[in-house]
Structure 1
Amino acid sequence: MMIPAERPPDDPRNAPVYLRKTLVANGHNDRTIRQLVADGVLVKVRPGGYSDKKNYDQLDAAGRHGLKARAAFQQARTDVVLSHVSGVPEYDAPTWGLDLSDVHLTRLDGKAGRHEAGVHQHCGRLRDGDVVERHGMLVMTPARLALEVTTVTSAEAGLVVVNHFLHCGMTTKDELMDRYAVMERWPNSLRTGLVLHRADARVETVGESRAVHLMLSAGLPAPIPQYEIRDEHGDVIHRVDFAWPEFGVSLEFDGKVKYEKYLKPGQRASDVVIAEKKRERRICDLTGWRCIRLDWSDLGRPAATAALIRAELYRG
């Protein structure tokens, strides 16, 4: 299992969170705290928790949730671990489709959890190795988080997280399946098995994970991810996102991140698009296959997109 390095100390996601009791102990009162917020010095990240606004303004939704989780972690009256969706940002994993409105914590005292004031406390039985320390807080490991997320979100969003952890080497399919075998009593775990069945370490991006979910949910034949294309000499010259060799069809997902990945110094996005079209022609010349291209808008209309793919697969 490969755990990524922690963020550098000056990363705005590591900005300190000031609890009200700490500010009061340093000479402030509710009036002066409100004034600091009004003046744009502090921002309230949750009741009784504040952070520097200049840092907060640099963060996306996941980063802001991280500060809110940090405040809730410090405010907890018992030992807790960041879990479920609240552990995901600590590994810089994608939060697409996750509900970040509540902080999720798991109690270590074995008592029943509760849901109040924007904090969802869980009661979970921990095994050795389930918890690590990251960025000054206790956080569930990627393997545990991957399974937990599937119990509080959709199968599609859960697959995005699970595939990310698998692709980055932070857990393995075997590890997840072994852990899943002993989680029968976890609440809301009915979709976990479905997500694990569809999970694949070869799937690289959020868009690709969503495309897999769309295709399999529609009953389409499972494609081969990251399929290698070889030239006349047998050398690998390209890779397509998905392929159905038996149907003579490949599929590419065109996302902004993908084009940014291929962007070289001095190039524009249009240069990459032109290069992609040449690459597609080369692949078609070598294989004789037809190519389907999807983008984010196609994922937002799954029924129509599944029909398009089905028609292309069974054409003729």
Structure 2
Amino acid sequence: MSYRTLARRVRTGKVIRVWHGVYAQHPPSTIDRLAALDVLSGKSIVACMNTAAELYGFGTENGRRIHILDPGVRMRPVGELMVHQRIGAPLKRIQGRLATAPAWTAVELARSLRRPRALATLDAVLFKGLCTPTDLRATIDEQKGRRGIVKVRELMEYVDGRSESPMESEARLVFIDGGLPMPEVQYEIVDRCGKLWRVDFAWPDAMVVAEYESMEWHATPEALRHDRMKVARLQECGWMSIPLVVDDVRRHPLDLVARIAAHVDQAG
């Protein structure tokens, strides 16, 4: 097609510009965008940081920016492309493409994030079964001396691969920083009818549980019915159930800790 036709189709959305000089007929996935960079560079692009985490399935940070290792040819970083110098980073093939290894990727990401999100990333890579705590500690030693590595090393004491969402990880760190006893994660309780329930956090000695309620998963009528039945069944067994939402964790952490501590201390 002519340049004028191409420009018109881009304006109308019939053709999508992926990178300068590379176009697609459908919205490109992350794999497609990396393949387009292969075309531009003439090299097989290696994913890292957030992009590698997304390919492995443990990405916790949103954003369209593609992160790649320097391919060795001139490739200028732009708004949606970040080029990194990571000589010696271990690589693994995922979805037909090389990316920095899971443990390396998780530690690198955690170094660059705030403590709550760093813990969420470390939890997520373990939850996916992509590496072990031993792998993470070995990688921390390999990245010794780099910015943020001390923070990551300190967080390893609290890493738990049973956390099923980033916000559960953030909430757990609020409990830890607030001085609460360490909760049991994904704790199982059998009610009087013999039904098994699993709760996000539990302090069994105090008969207190806390459940994170996301708007995405708990806003449907079916989810609301399930949650109400769960709370009622746990209360019948003597458990105090404390709901928490994102604002409790991020905007009012001290109030959240005080609410839980009041019930834990009362039971004690």
The TM-score bracket by the shorter chain reads 0.7 to 0.9
Do structure 1's residue 312 and structure 2's residue 260 form an aligned pair?
Answer: no
Q: Return structure 1 stretches of 4+ with deviation > 6 angstroms.
A: none
Give the CA RMSD over aligned residues.
3.2
Task: Specify the code of the residue in structure 2 equivalent to 1:102.
Answer: R
TM-score (norm 2): 0.81
How many equivalent pairs are there? Answer: 265
Structure 2: state its 5+ residue gaps. Answer: none
In 1, distance between residues paired with 2:246 and 2:143?
A: 34
Name which of 244, 262, 268 aligns with 1:294: 244
* Residue in structure 2 matched with residue 13 of structure 1 by the alignment: none
In 2, the alpha carbon distance for the partners of 1:292 and 1:173 equals 30
The question of 1:45 aligning with 2:25 is answered no
In the alignment, does 2:152 pair up with 1:192?
yes
The Cα shift of 1:168 comes to 1.9
Q: What does residue 240 of structure 1 align with? A: 199
- Between stretches 217-226 and 187-196, larger displacement belongs to 187-196
Q: Which position in structure 1 is the counterpart of 2:208?
A: 249
Opposite residue 212 of structure 2, the aligned amino acid is F
Mapping for residues 92-103 of structure 1, pairs under 5 Å: 92-96=57-61, 98=62, 100=63, 102-103=65-66
Question: 2 CA distance for matches of 1:68 and 1:34?
Answer: 20
- Asked if the contact 2:41–2:75 (Cα under 8 Å) also holds between the matched residues in 1, the reply is no
Matched AA of 2:165: T
Which residue number in structure 1 is paired with residue 77 of structure 2? 116
Tell me the equivalent position of 2:69: 106
Q: Judging by fraction of residues, say which structure has more helix.
A: 2
Shift, 1:76, TM fit: 4.0
Find the aligned partners of 2:187 and 2:135 in 1 and give their Cα distance.
Answer: 25
Aligned residue number for residue 129 of structure 2: 169
Paired residue secondary structure (1:204): coil
- On the 8 A contact 1:242/1:250 being kept in 2, the answer is yes
User: Which residue does 2:229 correspond to in 1?
Assistant: 278
With the length of structure 1 as denominator, give the TM-score of the two structures.
0.70
State the AA in 2 paired with 1:123. Q
Any idea what the Cα deviations from partners look like across 1:151-183, whole Å, max 9, x if unmatched? 222222232232222112111112111221221
Deviations 1:62-121 (A, max 9, x none): x5x55544434543476642000111221233434x4x3532222376x9x997323332
